[in-house]
Copies of this chain bind each other. A is one copy, B any other.
Amino acid sequence: MKNEGFRYSDCPMHRSMAILGTKWKPIVIYALRERTARFGQLHASIGSISRKVLTTTLKELEQDEVIFREEFKEIPPRVEYSLTERGKALLPIMYELVKWDKEYCEISEHK
């Protein structure tokens, strides 16, 4: 997804979507809400994401300083992902989205 033009937009929603605008990114951020995780743990907890897409998603979120990648020099080497301050600041928004889903999408009367 070519988001480069979005990054320097005058519109804050365009800029936010340059960072978050794929279906996987909010899901990865949400998966990291309570703990750091290794690649395999993330892959297992998210379920339906391919390893290739998860790799790209993590790389882009790291570049955008939403998540932090820490490499432990062990044998075998260990890598853990966690949210940065910028990433943690998105969590209240994710929780609101979860509430919205429960209120407006789960109950068929509201559909």
Contact = CB atoms under 8 A, between A and B. Distances in A.
A21 to B, nearest CB: 3
A10 to B, nearest CB: 9
Interface residues of A, number: 43
Interface string A86-111: 10011011101110111111100011
Nearest to A93: B96
Copies in the complex: 2
B100 A90 contact: yes
A30 interface: yes
B19 A27 contact: no
Nearest to A15: B101
B3 A23 contact: yes
